[in-house]
Structure 1
Amino acid sequence: MSTACSSRSGKCGHRDVLIFHAARGRGRTSPNPVVGAVVVSSDGVVVGQGFHQRAGEPHAEVRALDAAGARAAGATLYCTLEPCSHVGRTGPCVERIVNAGIVRVVAAIEDPNPLVRGRGFTFLRQRGIPVEVGTCAADARWQNQSFLTLLETGRPFVTLKAAVSLDGYLAARPGHRTLLTSEASNRHAHRVRAEVDAIGVGVGTILVDDPLLTTRGVYRERPLLRVVFDRSLRMPAGARVLSTGDRGPVMIITSQLAVDHVERRHALERHGAEVVVGDGSIRGALEMLGTRGVGGLLLEGGAGIHAAAWDEGVIDLVRLYVAPLRLGNGGVRFLNGKPFSVADLASRRIEPLGPDILVEGYVHGPR
């Protein structure tokens, strides 16, 4: 078994196993964090490992300790997040760690949750268990960027997703859908949808593309919240997304511009949508979603909602599926033509997807 955690943090001993196990919970644990834990004996043997599978179920540390059994005595516990010290839907992990006979704890990051925030480390140190913090922190923060963003800012981590041509167009003509990317890109996009709490589009995308906004070809445990940003309440009651209520709730976020559209609002509500009146800003809508526990939002388009979110500075990650073709002038430009350069993105990553290329990077740097 390899002992290097090479994706973001360099060499980290046993932590590649740790990060791998944490990743197994992605898309399943919200609003809880993604956490992995490994118990390593004094002679360097992994004797127990586990990950947090879903909210309300045992935490990763408990699963790893259960797997280790009596072999946990005298061992080191590695975990991607500070062990909890409070009573929630499960008991405090720190008590299990002490009772199991763990003699050292190595954690990637402190838990920013106000209920924890250093208290777990303090509890362990007060009982004579040394704690080391910071190993593989970049990996742990990357795995939990939605959880951390929600706790630290009160809004979801927002990923802007778009399919674009080589010359930066989303569509060949305004008001018409243009299929740009390959099946490989489409499969990747659906895997990404399976890992977020919500997917968002502007009402223009509904009017032009009439999408279902569902996940296809991938397993998803929890319903996907479908969000439509619609300041003037132009959403048609016959939109296909409203016919798939069994695939996840639909929320339409509108503004005071729509308060007089009572009949239209009632029609949308009869078709299963929740209509929420906000202040008209993207940031305000995101903060409202944050109060509902939405940690990760995939903002899929179109150009208008992308540009508005870009102007308000609420985009965290840009993910572009670049098709090997040019559309020329007269089409719909990415961000409605606002200045943008991939070179300005931080921690850029490029990956071939069939004939297409995936390009992604952070707007302000990784969290």
Structure 2
Amino acid sequence: MASAADRRFMRLAIALGRRGLGQVWPNPAVGCVIVRDGRILSRGWTGPGGRPHAEAAALARNPDVRGATAYVSLEPCAHHGRTPPCCDALVRAGVARVVTALTDPDPRVSGRGHARLRAAGIEVEEGVEADAAHAANAGFLLRLTQERPFVTLKLALSLDGRIATAGGESRWITGPEARRAVHALRACHDAVLVGGGTARIDDPDLTVRDLGVSHQPVRVVASHSLNLNPDSRLGRSARDLPVWLLHAAGLTPPAQWTATGARLIGCATRGDSLDPAAMMSALAQNGLTRVLCEGGGALAAGLIGAGLVDELVIFAAGKMIGADGRAGLGPLGMARLAEAPQFELMQVQRLGADLCQTWRRR
């Protein structure tokens, strides 16, 4: 039976694991805390690129953990991949007890880690703070169970729901504090996704800036016909920082884009647009677990309409643009209000002169 101390140390392990979000894909972002007699002996979390695993990182910091309890936010791996099994490392280290939050759905693990620990005489407690651990690693879990990443949709809107003036001017609807928060959002996602229209009009970099990060997300553009300028900022930087282009399957990519070094990924279509489910499946197949979509309106509507937006982050500025401005969301084709996708408000915070609202899909 999990104690209050078990729950407290597991919450710490989950928080440590979250440090790896955006850096460890396709691996999960796991945290590990090793405790003996109420004292923390060591702690670790998944390293950039997915290695070392959290348990190995914690044991490397302090291998003297005999008789201790290891709190791990995901079942220790039981297979030989690029690293040896973490369950074997815990057995060799002589821990007496392992507390986990979730069973790993990866078929190479899926209960085998827990079984090997028990076979070695180690006490195992499962399911501690499972909801919090599930939320932290929702992208990894969705990729394995539904073959899609966790999707966050970010919208920067005026009070009347517009993302730009009628002429397309959008810089800047929100203030510097909100824009800095967007860069923090990019940093904890594996990739940033925009539609072809946004790429053409804004010519964005889609990088994390001014936060001192050592990694950058994959920049992804969804463009049915690849009518994009290879001399754009994305095209010029594709060899230095990854750029993936989603396009209609069967399309022959322009030689100019092939020459930039961008990865070109064909997807099934739905009418004249890329199929949202096919796009997300393609990204998951290429290892992505967390994707931040930054628009435009048609892409956002397509993802929402397909039920693929898990989290909605809205930055609202105290400006009014009017009905002639560009709407933040394209048509959803609803006939009745009961058909409207529903989200639950999770958090509201003030960022300078703007508001940031976080909503989760019901």
- Give the secondary-structure state (helix, strand or coil) at the position aligned to 2:116: helix
Counterpart selection for 2:248 from 236, 255, 266:
255
- Give the secondary-structure state (helix, strand or coil) at the position aligned to 1:159: strand
- The structure-2 alpha-carbon separation of the partners of 1:68 and 1:214, relative to structure 1 and needing over 3 Å to count, comes to closer
- The structure-2 alpha-carbon separation of the partners of 1:353 and 1:244, relative to structure 1 and needing over 3 Å to count, comes to same
Query: Counterpart of 1:355?
Result: 353
- Give the secondary-structure state (helix, strand or coil) at the position aligned to 1:109: coil
Post-superposition shift, 1:56? 5.5
> Are residue 144 (structure 1) and residue 137 (structure 2) matched?
yes
- The structure-2 alpha-carbon separation of the partners of 1:85 and 1:178, relative to structure 1 and needing over 3 Å to count, comes to same
> Are residue 311 (structure 1) and residue 305 (structure 2) matched?
yes
Map 1:178-189 → 2, pairs under 5 A: 178-189=171-182
Query: Counterpart of 2:254?
Result: 265
Query: Counterpart of 2:329?
Result: 335
- Give the secondary-structure state (helix, strand or coil) at the position aligned to 1:114: coil
Distance across 2 between alignment mates of 1:325 and 1:58: 47
Letter in 2 for 1:38: V
- Give the secondary-structure state (helix, strand or coil) at the position aligned to 1:227: strand
Distance across 2 between alignment mates of 1:277 and 1:127: 47
Distance across 2 between alignment mates of 1:23 and 1:227: 23
Query: Counterpart of 2:265?
Result: 276
Distance across 1 between alignment mates of 2:17 and 2:100: 13
CA offsets per residue over residues 166-198 of structure 1, 9 Å max, x none?
A: 111111215443521111111111111122221
Post-superposition shift, 1:284? 0.8
Distance across 2 between alignment mates of 1:141 and 1:243: 38
Query: Counterpart of 1:237?
Result: 230
Q: Which 5+ residue runs of structure 2 have no aligned equivalent? A: 270-274
Query: Counterpart of 1:8?
Result: none
Aligned sequence identity (%) = 34
How many residues end up aligned between the 2 structures?
351
Query: Counterpart of 2:161?
Result: 168
Distance across 2 between alignment mates of 1:31 and 1:92: 17
Distance across 1 between alignment mates of 2:43 and 2:265: 43
Query: Counterpart of 1:60?
Result: 54
Letter in 2 for 1:27: G
> Are residue 84 (structure 1) and residue 77 (structure 2) matched?
yes
TM-score by length of 1: 0.88
Query: Counterpart of 1:116?
Result: 109
Post-superposition shift, 1:57? 2.9
Letter in 2 for 1:160: L
Question: Is contact 1:167–1:328 with CA below 8 Å preserved after alignment?
Answer: yes
Question: Is contact 2:229–2:235 with CA below 8 Å preserved after alignment?
Answer: no
> Are residue 287 (structure 1) and residue 285 (structure 2) matched?
no
Query: Counterpart of 1:26?
Result: 21
CA offsets per residue over residues 81-128 of structure 1, 9 Å max, x none?
A: 111111111111112212222111111111111110111111111222
Distance across 2 between alignment mates of 1:183 and 1:38: 37
Post-superposition shift, 1:301? 0.6
Distance across 2 between alignment mates of 1:116 and 1:347: 35
Query: Counterpart of 2:194?
Result: 201
TM-score by length of 2: 0.89
- The structure-2 alpha-carbon separation of the partners of 1:360 and 1:64, relative to structure 1 and needing over 3 Å to count, comes to same
- Give the secondary-structure state (helix, strand or coil) at the position aligned to 1:298: strand
- The structure-2 alpha-carbon separation of the partners of 1:234 and 1:321, relative to structure 1 and needing over 3 Å to count, comes to same
Letter in 1 for 2:354: D
Post-superposition shift, 1:37? 0.9
Q: Which 5+ residue runs of structure 1 have no aligned equivalent? A: 6-10
